[in-house]
């Protein structure tokens, strides 16, 4: 691993830790300038193609999902780490499915379940768009279901 400070080609690993998604964080020290830095490793697993409602297909884009969640969670007590964690959980579940294609509905269902546990107001914001709650009675019905 090349040092980000002096570009020296060698470093030694000082510490290694793992997270729930299988990522590896390594704390390193440059053998030349002695600066310390972190590197992150994660296994490269393929995510399935997403089949949209119009039958078009696109690659899974975690950044796109993150942007949508950030809008739903705006001005709510939901940290960026919580959003990142939810996106990681959805991506991991998609990879574990082992399918080459998955309906966008599957992703939406996983996201809405995660949001329900994370923040109920963010859940309602996401549900208005995702479940197409077009009128107040439909919105009231969803809020009543949430309160039960």
- The tens digit of pLDDT for each residue in 49-91 reads 999 989 999 999 999 999 999 999 999 999 999 999 999 999 9
Query: Quick check: 141 pLDDT over 90?
Result: no
Query: Quick check: 42 pLDDT over 90?
Result: no
* pTM check: above 0.75: no
pLDDT attached to residue 76: 92
Distance CA 59, CA 50 (A): 6
Confidence of residue 102 (pLDDT cuts 50, 70, 90): very high
Confidence of residue 143 (pLDDT cuts 50, 70, 90): confident
Confidence of residue 4 (pLDDT cuts 50, 70, 90): very high
Distance CA 54, CA 96 (A): 25
Q: What is the mean pLDDT of residues 85-113?
A: 90
DSSP string covering the chain, please? ---TTT--S-EEEEEEEE-TTS-EEEEEEETTT--EEEEEE----PPPEEE-TTS-EEE--HHHHHHHHHHHTTTSS--HHHHHHHHHHHHHHHHHHT-SEEEHHHHHHHHHHHHHHH-HHHHHHHHHHHTT--SHHHHHHHHHHHH-
Confidence of residue 139 (pLDDT cuts 50, 70, 90): confident
Residue ranges per structural domain of the chain: 11-41, 49-147
């Amino acid at each position: 691993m090349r040092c980000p400070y002096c570009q020296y080609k060698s470093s030694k690993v000082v510490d290694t830790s793992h997270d729930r998604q299988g990522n590896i964080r390594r704390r390193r020290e440059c053998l030349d300038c002695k600066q310390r830095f972190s590197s992150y490793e994660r296994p490269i697993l393929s995510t399935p193609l997403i089949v949209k409602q119009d039958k078009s297909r696109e690659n899974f884009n975690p950044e796109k999902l993150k942007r949508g969640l950030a809008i739903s969670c705006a001005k709510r007590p939901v940290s960026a780490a919580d959003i990142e964690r939810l996106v990681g959980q959805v991506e991991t579940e998609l990879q574990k499915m082992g399918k080459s294609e998955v309906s966008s509905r599957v992703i939406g269902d996983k996201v809405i379940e995660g949001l329900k546990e994370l923040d109920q107001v963010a859940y309602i914001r996401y549900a208005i768009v995702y479940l197409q709650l077009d009128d107040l009675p439909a919105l009231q019905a969803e809020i009543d279901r949430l309160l039960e």
